[in-house]
């Protein structure tokens, strides 16, 4: 007769479907850089503490460390969109508390086309000893 395998933890944690990479992809896809922060060129990280209810919804958010200029409100807005997977835990209605860091980095300007590489092939002159042809390359950045 086999013994029943006991669960490791009495209360299992809430997880984001798809894992950490899916969570990061969701945040990146839904984050909108605030206009005020763009104008003032504000960058930084917003630390948010949030509460997940027994259904997997984010019910409460609190900014622990913010950078202002609309970034804090945007970070809270994104976190409230999250939906977690909560396993059933012995008919208990448990709330989970987590912390997340949302990074705001200014968009990088596209590089100009002046960074293209052009090169010339110069055939060296053949000397008296008639050595085989060789080529010299010179690379110029325009």
Q: Is the CA virtual torsion 31, 22, 20, 79 positive or negative? A: positive
Beta strands in 66-132 (DSSP E): 96-104, 117-123
- Residue 111's φ and ψ, nearest 5 degrees, are -70, 145
Whether this prediction's pTM lies above 0.85 is answered by no
Bridge-partner residues for 141, per DSSP? Answer: 117
Mean pLDDT of the chain: 81
Q: Report in angstroms the alpha-carbon separations of 133 from 77, 106, 108, 120, 136.
A: 67, 51, 45, 16, 10
The structural domains of the chain, with segments of one domain joined by +, span: 19-104
Is residue 122 scored above 60 in pLDDT? no
pLDDT digits (tens, 9 = 90+) for 42-85: 999 999 999 999 999 999 999 999 999 999 999 999 999 999 99
In the structure, what pLDDT confidence band is assigned to residue 11 with cuts at 50, 70 and 90? confident
Burial status of residue 104 (CB atoms within 10 A of its CB: 0-12, 13-18, 19 or more): buried
Q: Report in angstroms the alpha-carbon separations of 5 from 8, 64, 65, 90.
A: 9, 40, 43, 16
Is residue 124 scored above 60 in pLDDT? no
pLDDT in the model for residue 111:
43
Number of DSSP helices (H) and strands (E) in the chain, helices first? 3, 5
Pick the CATH number of 19-104 from 3.40.50.300, 3.90.550.10, 2.40.220.10, 3.30.2420.10: 3.30.2420.10
């Amino acid at each position: 007769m086999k013994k029943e395998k006991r669960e490791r933890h009495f209360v299992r944690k809430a997880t984001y479907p798809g894992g950490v990479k899916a969570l990061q992809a969701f945040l990146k896809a839904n984050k909108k850089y605030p206009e005020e922060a763009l104008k003032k060129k504000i960058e930084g990280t917003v630390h948010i503490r949030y509460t997940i209810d027994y259904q997997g919804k984010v019910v409460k958010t609190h900014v622990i460390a913010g950078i202002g200029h609309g970034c804090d409100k945007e970070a809270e807005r994104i976190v409230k969109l999250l939906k977690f997977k909560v396993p059933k835990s012995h008919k208990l209605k448990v709330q989970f508390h987590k912390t997340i860091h949302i990074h705001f980095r200014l968009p990088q300007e596209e590089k100009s086309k002046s960074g293209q590489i052009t090169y010339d092939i110069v055939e060296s002159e053949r000397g008296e000893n008639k050595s085989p042809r060789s080529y010299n390359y010179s690379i110029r950045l325009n």
